[in-house]
Each structure stands twice: as C-alpha cells, then as structure tokens.
A and B are shown apart, each in its own frame.
Chain A
Amino acid sequence: MEKAMIALAAALAVGLPALATAIAQAKIGSAAASTIAEKPETAGTMIILEAIPETMVILGFVVAIMLILQFA
C-alpha cells in the first residue's frame, strides 16, 4: 500500500506539471504561430519561449525520481 502511494505521488509529481506545461505550451504555441506568420525572423525566439514552461515538468520529473529513490 505504501509503495502504491509513493508511486501515485511520483505519478502526480510528473503528471500535474506535465498537464500545466501542456496548457502553457499550447497557448504559447498558438501565439507563436501568429507571431511567426507576421514576423518569420522571430522563429528562433519563439522556439525558446516554447521551451520556458518545460521547467515545471522537468522539476516534477526530478521530484518524482527523488520520491522513488528515497522511499521506494
């Protein structure tokens, strides 16, 4: 039971930030598409901006790994 809870916690640690990241990236992506359509030279900047919310899921992944390594 305890292991299952740890697994659930790890899954939530990755899953919830992944969801948040997906929502943020979707919004950035659509805005970026509009921007690039008008100013193609901003493509590089837009790709960098698209990567910004990934911090959440990466930190979530690290937390999940720590949970598993520490308690499982």
Chain B
Amino acid sequence: MIRKMIRVAIWGLTSRQREIVSFLHDQGVLHVEHGEAARITDEEADSLRLLRSKLLGMIESLEWDSWKEIRDEDLDDLGRNLTLPFSQMIEETNESLDHFKKELSDLLERREEARRLRNKLKGASHISVHFRSFVQSENEENRDASIWWLRKEQVPKILSEIQSILVSDHSGKGPVPELHHHVFHIREKESLLAVGVPLEYRGPVNLFLESEGFVSWTPTGCEPGMGLLRCMEYMDEKLNESPKACDHIEETLSGVRVQWGSRLGALFILIDERLEQLVVEQRGKDMGEAFMLEGWLPEDERDPLCEKLKKVFGDDVMVRWRYPTSDEWQVVPTAISNPTLFKPFEIFLKLVSPPSYRGTDPTVMIGIFFPFFAGCIIGDAGYGVVLASLAWWLRKRTNHPMVADGAFVLLTMAFWSVIWGVIYGEYFGDVAHRILGVEPLVVERSHAVVPVLAFTVALGLAHILLGLALGVIEGIKNRSHHLWMERGGNIVIILSMIGALCATKGVIPQSFFSVSMIVLAIGLILLIAGGGVGGLVESMSSFGSILSYVRIGAIGLSSAILAMVASKFVDVLGVSFLGIFIALAIHLLNFVLATAESGLHSARLHYVEFMGKFYSGGDTEYRPFAKKRRRSFNWKKR
C-alpha cells in the first residue's frame, strides 16, 4: 500500500530554529528534499565537513570497522554531552583529535618501520643463506671474506683481475695465494660475488674493487667493525626478535583500536547527523524573525507530529499542510506500508525503482502469488518441511532485517510446497507412496502432465488478467487514457479469444463465436486507440506471457521426475549404503535445484510478466530526515 502524502510547511521562530530542526530530526518522519549532495556554503558546515573527513581518515588509519558495536544508547549519551555551542564543540573536538592523531601517527610509523626492517632482514637473510658456509670456511682458514654487487657478465673479468693482484703482490716465497670465490645470481643481470683472500691481501683487493665502482654487500643492521660472519649471526638474532617487536606494536594498536574505535565511530555519526541537521536548517527559508521549512509527510503522521510540536514548542511553531497537486505527483516521495504478513515481501521492490506515488504497490500481490507459484513448482511435502526448518533456523539466527525477510519468504514458499506436495502426493518424491502407500490428494503430476500444464497456463491467464486490470486502474488513477485503453483492450482481446476457442471446442454454444468476434473487434479498437500499432505487438506479448507460466508445471515436472530417479537407485542397488547414499545425494541436488529454480522463476514471472503490465517505478523513495542510518554501514562510502 502506498501511503497518502501531504505537503507540509513548518513555520517557527528563527531563535528556536536549531531546536526545532533537531526535534524534527529526532521524530524522523519529515521528508526534506536536500540529499546528501546538498552543498551549503556555511562556515559551520565547512568546519563540520572537515571534521567529519578527519574522523573518517582516522577511523580508516586505525583500521576499525566494527560499526555494529555502536549502540544507539551510546550515541544518545555522547549527543547529550556535546551540548556546547557549535563553534566551541568543533574547536574542542579538533584539538582532541589533533592530539590523538599525533599519538596514532607515531604508533603507525613505528609499525611501518618495524615491518620495513623485518622485510629487509628477511631479504638479507635470504641472501646470506647462500654465502654463510663460504664465509664460515674462510674465517676458519683465517682468510678474509667480502661480498660485492656486480653485473653477471663482469664476474669472470673481475675474478681474473683479482687473481692478477694476488700474483703481482706475491713476494715470491712459497706458493701464490689462492683466490676463493662464490657467486649467487640474484636476478637476470645482477650477481653477488663472495671473494675469499688471505688477510694480508684484503687491502689491495678491496681497494681495487672499490676503485672499479663496486659496492660491498653487508647484512642489514650490521654495525661497523663487525666481521661478516658476526654480522650474519647478528642479523639472524634481529630477525628472530622482529616478530615480537611487530606483535608488540600490533597489540598496542589493537588496544588503541578497542579503546578509541567505537568512540571515534560514534563521534563520526553524530557529526554526520549534525551536518545533516545543518543542511536542513539552511534549507529553511529565512524571513527575518521567522523561518519556514517545507517537506513531505505521510498523512497518518500529521496529527501525532502536530501534537508533539504543539506540546514542545507551543505557539512558537505553526504547521500548514495540503495534498499534492497533480503537477506534483512526479516529485512526491513514495512511502510504502503493508500489513505485517506481507511486509517481508517488500524486499522484492529493492530490485526495481520505487513505485510512483500514484502507482500501485505490488507487494501484497507478490506476497500472495510468489509463494503460491514457488510452492507449486517444488510441490513436495518432504522438501517443504526441510525448507521450512532451514528458513525457521535462518530467521532465528539472523539479526539482519533483510535476511530475516528472505527467511520469511522461504517459510511461505515451504508452506505452499507442503500443500502442493499433499495435492500431488509427493513426499521426497515417491518415498511415502512406496513405504506407506500414500496416494495423491488430487493428481500425481508425473502421470497427469497435460492437465497440470493446462492448469499452470490457466494460472498464468488469471495472473496476467489481474496485472492488466491493475494497469487499467492505474491508468484511470493517473488520468492516462492511453494506458487504461491499451490495458483494457488487451483484457477484452484475451477474453474474446478464449471465448472463441471455447466456442470452437464446443465448451460453450457455437453462437458465442460471433459474439466473441464482435468483442475482439471492440478490443482491437480500444487497443489501437490506446497504444497505436505498437499496442498490437503488446497484445501478442500478453499471450506469450500467459504461455510463459507453463514453466511452473514444466520445472515442477522435471523436479518430480528427478526425485523419482533418486528412489530408483535404491531399487537398482538395493537397500545398501551405496544405494541410499546416491539417493540422498540426488535428493539433495534436487532440493537445491527446486528451491533455487522455484524462487528464481516465480520472481521472474512477477518482474517480467506480471509487473510489466501495470508497474511504473522511478519515483523518489520516502527517506525521512532522521537518525535512520545509525545501524547501516554506508558512511564510509560517502
């Protein structure tokens, strides 16, 4: 049901404007056309925006995302404490945030530094693995070892030049000192060369390599004077300690997150709400000592709001209201209200734009027909019971309203599945028939294929006629002659064709055939007058839509056959583990398929075939100026 809306103008004293706007915000019933994008060039608003961005930045830096932990009571408490004047509140909050920001930045910097060091140590450790044994053996032989960065192709040349130095510096006594080396290719062109020479040759060799422009490699964290091997051991010690250091910083950060995350989050929400209030305040027309605020209000909220305003503000506030004119129908926000039983079915409207204010809310129709069709497709009492149990469990477990609504929809599907299951005599396929001899109440769909398919087409006919009738009503309501004539013409044509068919088949007297033809001509005139030649195409598509409902029977039939196939496995393999396992597996597959297909195709029948006949969306959704977003998580995206 679409709620009746009124246009209200609230007049009040400028001196109490902020108070009145805050009161309206608390009441949460007035739809003010401002939107989040409304830009007001006000100093206070700019400061609030800046503060909001700063808070959001800090929340993200803190990596806090537990918005669900913020309770409305905490927000109210915090709101009560923020009673300072706007400018003072902004200033004090800014100061506190700057102080906190410094501490947080230090902590984050420390963490970053620790992570960087750890990565460097890991990289160096990965390299040192390749040279450790070389350096160790050189040390044991009391020789010098050093590691140098160079290009891959330079290695042979450099080695031969070092060898020349060893030969040229040799005193001639004893054998020429040996040159030990080890090469590790890091990348395609880059290499690390470890050179081992007697201690007395260290100076000339190092001098030569440095003069050639090569850089020596030393492990990360190495201090001057340490030997290469000691450096490597020292680096290992540091690497072993680094996780502890990182964990310590992470623990501190986690503590800060727990302590400050929800506080910053709550503050962000309050600032966001204050900003929204300020935007609404600025939208009010300033008339010197008075201001005026306009908006849309559901008619049933008018009297309670007026009474409360009168009680709190007395004669300082005046409310005037009127019904929207036909020119305004396009801009009136649409508020939907349905009985408790049908309310969960409003989730179906989430996939389409909100219905127009003068349009029709299909929720009740969907609530009646969707589970009926889906249940008809599943058509198995056993599956229905399983589905009901799952839906019940899901409904009890979830805190999310949309999931709870979805679970309720599944429950209604399960209800109709049981009903149709009894009608078709299906309890996990033919299991009940085999064991207990249960017979179908009306008809077994796998045996009476044609009657079941005919029945589903009849269902489609009724559903499409209902959709077209709603289209006629919408056309009349919106004073759209084209719409109601086209939809009406469609109804007349469909009925006349059925009449002609019945007369041809002898269901009704033959004389009705000519009557049907006359009615068909009237329908065609209406159709062309309303929709032009395109209306004829629309009329043909209506027949296609009716035939489309045969899917209810066809999918149901395939599901019933698959259920029987499952039982057949027990016949073939006997009452064995394998037979029962395969049967259960096929039943599980069939259950999932039947549930998914029934929901999907019933939804499709509603969206495409049924709602296409009357639904006109595209209007603005009723979004009252309220604290409505406290439990949602959209703030970050703004």
The secondary-structure label for the interface of chain A is helix
Q: A48 touching B351 by the CB < 8 A rule?
A: yes
Are A45 and B601 neighbours in the complex by a CB distance under 8 Å? no
Asked if A33 CB lies within 8 Å of chain B CBs, one says no
In the complex the two chains form, what is the Cα distance from A55 to B453 in whole Å?
Answer: 15
The answer to whether A48 touches B607 (Cβ under 8 A) is yes
Taken together as a complex, chains A and B put the C-alpha atoms of A61 and B550 apart, in Å, by: 10
Q: How far is the CB of A44 from chain B (nearest CB, A)?
A: 4
A24 CB within 8 Å of chain B: no
B554 touches A58 (CB 8 A): yes
Query: Complex: how many Å from CA A59 to CA B558?
Result: 13
Contact with B along A53-70 (1 / 0, CB 8 A): 011001101100110010
Q: Which B residues are CB-close (under 8 A) to A65? A: 449, 453, 554, 557
Known: A48-B607, A51-B601. A59 touches B450 (CB 8 A): no
Q: Which of B554, B557, B601 has its CB near the most chain A CB atoms (within 10 A)?
A: B554
Binding site secondary structure of chain B: helix
Residue contact A61 to B558, C-beta cutoff 8 Å: yes
* Closest CB in chain B relative to A35 CB, distance in Å: 13
A47 at the interface (CB under 8 A from B): yes
Q: Is the CB of A52 within 8 A of B449?
A: no
Residue of B nearest to A66 (CB): B450
Known: A51-B601, A61-B558. A44 touches B351 (CB 8 A): yes
Q: Are A52 and B557 in contact (CB under 8 A)?
A: no
Known A44-B351, A69-B449: A58·B600 in contact at CB below 8 Å? no
* B207 on the A face (CB < 8 A): no
B461: shortest Cβ distance to chain A, in Å? Answer: 16
Closest to A64 in B: B554
Q: Is the CB of A62 within 8 A of B601?
A: no
Question: Do the beta carbons of B450 and A69 come within 8 Å of each other?
Answer: yes
In whole angstroms, what is the CA distance A69 to B550 when docked?
16
CB <8 Å contact, B550 and A62: yes
The CA of A14 and the CA of B52, in the complex, are separated in Å by: 60
Within 8 A of B (CB), among A11-54: 44-45, 47-48, 51-52, 54
Cross-chain contact B604 with A48 (CB below 8 angstroms): yes
Q: Is B547 touching A59 in the complex (CB atoms < 8 A)?
A: yes
Docked Cα-Cα span, A69 to B500, in Å, equals 26
Interface residues of A (CB under 8 A from B): 44-45, 47-48, 51-52, 54-55, 58-59, 61-62, 65-66, 69
* 13 CB-based A-B contacts, threshold 8 Å: A44-B350, A48-B600, A48-B604, A51-B600, A51-B601, A52-B608, A55-B551, A59-B547, A59-B550, A62-B453, A62-B553, A65-B554, A69-B450
With contacts A54-B601, A58-B555, A66-B450 known, what are 15 further pairs, Cβ within 8 A?
Answer: A44-B350, A47-B600, A48-B351, A48-B600, A48-B603, A48-B604, A48-B607, A51-B603, A52-B604, A58-B551, A58-B554, A62-B550, A62-B553, A62-B554, A69-B449
